[in-house]
């Protein structure tokens, strides 16, 4: 089953469900307020993956600046097509601020899009979460977290918990007053109790 409901009504249902988990969840949700998660559903998976790679391991402002320099190479366009990105030289990529590794990953994503490995948005909407993850993590530099960001923000999947995300695990530690954050494996087990609202759970944990 593909769970993809991130409407305001679903946010309300999710918050009520999570607040009913225990007193810690209830207090945190009351203090945080309504879920204001904002998806970007118009983006093609190719664009979403390129953007996610640009943001990997960087502060948002730094990533926005680097991505902005890349987009400036294509005036008058919202985003370069895969074949255009493939024509950007490694030197130009480095001038934008991308590391050699990230530049190779971006061009790999562009080639995979042309080869049909990165699906179109229409195809992606028909693929289950695990199927899309399994398909895309074969690409160089694309890990599970990157695909999960695609699922959450571009495909509006409503039951995704990125357990490898430091903010999710640290948010749970703070909410619970623990000395150490849970491991990704432990976080995955804990998150089973929050299904089918794990995307909203992640949003609230990030706010912690």
Our answer to whether residue 159 is catalytic in this structure is no
Distance CA 160, CA 153 (A): 10
Give the distance between the most distant pair of CA atoms in the chain: 55
Which contacts (CB < 8 Å, 24+ apart) does range 174-177 have? Answer: 174/208, 175/24, 175/25, 175/28, 175/205, 175/208, 176/24, 177/24
Distance CA 191, CA 13 (A): 17
Cis, peptide link before residue 122, omega less than 30° from 0:
no
Catalytic member of 24, 129, 130, 165: 165
Counting every residue written for the chain, the total comes to: 208
Catalytic residues: 165
């Amino acid at each position: 089953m593909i769970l993809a409901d991130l409407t305001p009504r679903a946010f309300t249902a999710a918050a009520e469900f999570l607040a009913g988990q225990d007193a810690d969840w209830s207090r945190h949700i009351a203090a945080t307020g309504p879920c204001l998660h904002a998806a970007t559903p118009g983006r093609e998976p190719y664009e979403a993956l390129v953007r996610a790679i640009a943001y990997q391991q960087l502060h948002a402002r730094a990533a926005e600046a680097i991505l902005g320099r890349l987009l400036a190479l294509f005036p008058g366009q919202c985003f370069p097509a895969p074949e255009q990105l493939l024509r950007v030289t490694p030197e130009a990529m480095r001038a934008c601020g991308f590391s050699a590794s990230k530049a190779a990953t971006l061009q790999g994503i562009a080639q995979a899009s042309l080869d049909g490995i990165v699906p179109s948005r229409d195809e992606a909407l028909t693929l289950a979460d695990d199927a899309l993850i399994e398909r895309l993590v074969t690409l160089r530099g694309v890990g599970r977290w990157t695909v999960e960001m695609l699922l959450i923000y571009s495909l509006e999947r409503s039951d995704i918990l990125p357990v490898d995300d430091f903010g999710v695990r640290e948010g749970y530690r703070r909410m619970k007053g623990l000395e150490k954050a849970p491991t990704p494996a432990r976080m995955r087990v804990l998150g089973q109790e929050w299904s089918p609202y794990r995307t909203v759970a992640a949003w609230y944990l990030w706010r912690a």
